[in-house]
């Protein structure tokens, strides 16, 4: 059975070119870049060049503003906790109700430690209310931390505008964005349109680099204390021996991602849109989450009324299709997605959610396979539902009250 992998927002396969670039630093170039002899200095130069190459993809920023971490979760923790340590007199944080757990749970922990946190809501499409955001900013606001693109729905927030508003309101408020899903999919000029962003996080394994390498961009002059304390590495901002092979791999992965970005985005968006269109035509009572908002070109989040997402994923897996019900970091929980709850997805559909996230190696044949299998899976599972009339392929009469109560018929 041919594998159809459409869970690229969870992780991506390492590109062969990336692996090839890493191999020398996993073998003969194994030296610690902090050592003083020539082979180690050679490795240090390779790290320095990789930092420079990565910085170029964000506009005219200094390579020293690129801080290597182990993952986006560490980058997010560093940004939030490090900002708080450096600004102890400000005790208010602004974020959203739909952040990845790597931000959301940190903010909740800050709240338990006495900080006041505003969790901004979103509308049914996943959009933020700009006027509500403006009202949330206060004289004691320490930090705004808002994701660039949502990992579950692909909804893109106007981060450049939000950062500009923040700095025009109070230049001392720090602005951080978790760009884990957007780096490698969208162009982000931190010296141009995004010049008001102070800190930006992302992770290599979302763009065909390996797991275990992340980045935190920290604009020069941003007050932030180290999160990882120990050695002198990363100019004293993050202790720990540099993960040299993975840093080299990340630089190569970013080159691959950005060399044909617009063309690749068009190709992927066409496949995503065809998948969305065909599934919507074949499956009644289907919610397209985020459809009314700007979205990443690769992400499609669906909710099917009256069936469970976990059952859908198991059946898809039996047919060789790898998808997810939302964030990989919250899988295993019986609770519905906090993102979809915040978007007020009807309760009759919120448990029946599936995310298809496409990537560089997906083909039209993959889309054909999903279009063939997914409606059959939904039909099969609905036949077992007490709320579904299989003969009419529609909800039973008594289920319409539930749909009306859930707001699905408005």
Hey, which residues are catalytic here?
329
Q: How far apart are CA 399 and CA 388, in angstroms?
A: 8
Spatial distance between the Cα atoms of 217 and 198, rounded to a whole number of angstroms: 8
Q: Phi-psi region for residue 236, left (φ > 0), alpha (ψ -120 to 50) or beta?
A: left
Q: Is 287 strand, coil or helix?
A: strand
**Secondary structure in 3-state letters for 174-220:** EEEEECCCCECCECCCCCCCCCCCCEEEEEHHHCCCCCCCEEEEECC
Sole residue written with tokens 């609905």: 382
Backbone angles phi, psi at 288, to 5 degrees: -100, 105
Would you say 272 and 298 are in contact if contact means Cβ atoms under 8 Å apart? Answer: yes
Structure tokens, 342:
């915040």
Beta pairing, strands 66-69 & 214-218 = antiparallel
Residue with tokens 């909740």: 108
């Amino acid at each position: 059975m041919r594998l159809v992998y459409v869970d690229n927002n969870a992780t991506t396969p390492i590109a062969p070119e990336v692996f090839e670039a890493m191999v020398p630093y996993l073998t003969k170039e194994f030296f610690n870049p902090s050592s003083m002899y020539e082979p180690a200095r050679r490795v240090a130069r390779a790290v320095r060049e990789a930092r420079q190459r990565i910085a170029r993809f964000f506009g005219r920023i200094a390579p020293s503003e690129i801080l290597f971490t182990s993952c986006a979760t560490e980058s997010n923790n560093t940004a939030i906790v490090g900002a708080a340590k450096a600004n102890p007199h400000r005790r208010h944080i602004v974020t959203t109700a739909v952040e990845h757990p790597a931000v959301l749970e940190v903010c909740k922990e800050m709240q338990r430690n006495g900080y006041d946190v505003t969790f901004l809501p979103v509308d049914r499409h996943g959009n933020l209310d700009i006027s509500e955001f403006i009202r949330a900013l206060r004289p004691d606001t320490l930090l705004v931390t808002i994701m660039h693109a949502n990992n579950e729905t692909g909804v893109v927030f106007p981060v450049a505008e939000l950062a500009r508003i923040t700095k025009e309101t109070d230049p001392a408020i720090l602005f951080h964005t978790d760009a884990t899903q957007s780096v490698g999919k969208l162009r982000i000029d931190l010296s141009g349109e995004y010049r008001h962003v102070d800190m930006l996080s992302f992770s290599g394994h979302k763009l065909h680099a390996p797991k275990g390498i992340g980045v935190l961009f920290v604009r020069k002059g941003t007050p932030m204390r180290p999160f990882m304390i120990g050695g002198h590495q990363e100019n004293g901002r993050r202790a720990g021996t540099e993960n040299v092979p993975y840093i080299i791999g990340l630089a190569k992965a970013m080159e691959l991602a950005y060399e044909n970005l617009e063309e690749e985005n068009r190709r992927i968006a066409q496949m995503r849109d065809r998948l969305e269109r065909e599934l919507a035509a074949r499956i009644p009572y289907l919610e397209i989450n985020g459809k009314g908002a700007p979205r990443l070109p690769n992400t499609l989040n669906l909710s099917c009324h009256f069936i469970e997402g976990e059952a859908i994923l198991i059946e898809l897996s039996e047919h060789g299709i790898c998808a997810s019900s939302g964030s990989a970091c919250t899988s295993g929980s019986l609770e519905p997605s906090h993102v979809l709850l915040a978007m007020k997805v009807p309760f009759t559909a919120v448990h029946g959610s599936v995310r298809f996230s496409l990537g560089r190696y997906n083909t039209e044949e993959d889309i054909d396979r999903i279009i063939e299998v997914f409606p059959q899976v939904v039909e099969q599972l609905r036949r077992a539902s007490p709320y579904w009339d299989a003969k009419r392929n529609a909800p039973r009469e008594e289920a319409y009250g539930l749909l009306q109560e859930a707001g699905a018929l408005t």
